Amino acid sequence: MDRVFNYSAGPSCLPIEVLEEVKRDLLNYKNKGFSVLEMNHRTEDYYEINDEANSLMKELLKVGDDYQVLFLQGGGYTQFSTFPINLAESDDLTLYVKTGNFSTKAYNEGKKFTNAKVIATSEDKNFSYIPKITKDMVDQNAKYLHICVNNTAFGTCYNTLPDTGDVPLIGDMSSIILAKNYDIKKFGMIYGGVQKNLGAAGATFVVIKNDLIKENDKIASMSSYKILADGKSIFNTPPVFSVYIVGLMLKWVKKQGGVESLDKIAKEKSKIIYDLIDNSKFYKGTANVYDRSPMNVTFLTPSEDLDIKFVKEAKENGMINLKGHKAAGGLRASLYNAMPLEGVNKLKEFMNKFERDNKV
């Protein structure tokens, strides 16, 4: 069977050339006689993979040695509780913006460990926009302000980062990492699962300023950024295979021209589908125009039955995972870095044909 175009929100598609390299190393890693799946994490082979991924991540994000890069287990969800216990005490004020399901989950975890407060939400319009955050809304006594930078379920993202003054900005960047050219130095910390833009499921990245990493003997060792950073992400057995793929993806991103280039490409790809939606009386976008995500295009047909039919017929035509998130409904096309322009144009052609065939 020929490969399909996979518009999954995550785990998502990977570049063919990356998969080809994985295929070669799966049986015989760099002709050393063993599989990358069999690699011992306490060997020079893995130290090289880990160090190179760490260095490339800093290079592509344009951060220096005042930041630490960690590759960890547990998924982005684990960080919802890990960063609060590292950055704040139980009585400390922490701030959150609710713009979707993951930012809500982060808040729900944060309030278990800190005096967490929601300063803005777009819940009133089913998370279809990003609420404006002004500096005067950010209590300067807070330990941090947390945002989900890109919202996969509802198709919105921060096109302008909030000014938090001296309060560290914490960003869940699971679905926008290395795809939009943010100034990472405006964040005290970013984190996310790698399975959308950065690799295969199994690893989590954390990029954190050194001055936020503090010793704390009251928290578990596996949750301590200090211990994990001192161990260079190898305090315990890391997700070796997943970090290996992250390294390949980072090389691929650099080969494409880095984040600036991929940011431009992402805008061009998403514009193809957004223009179609905007000029159609059949499709309807669900996100506020200014706050639209370049990664996750969310939209509706005139009815739920047509949404179902759209997903079914798209699959028959070699396009999978176009069903919307259960929290949002409708349809969603995730156009991550590895989605080629060919896949975007094929989706456009299918959408045009589906509209002609199903006009109501």
Nearest to 62 by CA among 182, 159, 172: 182
Q: With H, G, I as helix, E, B as strand and everything else as coil, classify residue 201.
A: coil
Q: Are residues 131 and 263 in the same domain?
A: no
Query: Which one-letter amino acid corresponds to residue 151?
Result: N
Q: Are residues 300 and 182 in the same domain?
A: no
pLDDT of residue 2: 84
Single out the residue in 255, 283, 304 at which a domain terminates: 255
Q: Can you list the residues of the chain whose pLDDT is less than 70? A: 1
Single out the residue in 197, 222, 255 at which a domain terminates: 255
pLDDT of residue 74: 86
> Residue 358 is encoded by which pair of tokens?
């199903």
Q: How many CB atoms lie within 10 A of CB 327?
A: 13
pLDDT of residue 234: 85
What CATH number should be reported for the domain holding residue 75? Answer: 3.40.640.10
Q: How many CA atoms lie within 13 A of 184 on its CB side?
A: 28
Query: Which one-letter amino acid corresponds to residue 355?
Result: E
Task: Determine, yes or no, domain membership for 148.
Answer: yes
Number of H helices, E strands in the chain: 9, 14
**CA torsion, ordered 351, 352, 353, 359, to nearest 10 deg:** 100
pLDDT of residue 211: 96
Nearest to 156 by CA among 198, 189, 128: 128
Please tell me whether the peptide bond between 11 and the residue prior to it is cis, using omega within 30 degrees of 0.
yes
Single out the residue in 208, 225, 255 at which a domain terminates: 255
Task: Determine, yes or no, domain membership for 347.
Answer: yes
pLDDT of residue 1: 57
Task: Determine, yes or no, domain membership for 1.
Answer: no
Domain that holds residue 126: 16-255
CB 77 within 8 A of CB 104: no
The per-residue pLDDT for range 251-275, each reduced to its tens digit, is: 999 999 999 999 999 999 999 999 9
Please indicate, yes or no, whether the overall pTM of this predicted structure exceeds 0.85. Answer: yes
Largest alpha-carbon pair distance within the chain?
64
Task: Determine, yes or no, domain membership for 160.
Answer: yes
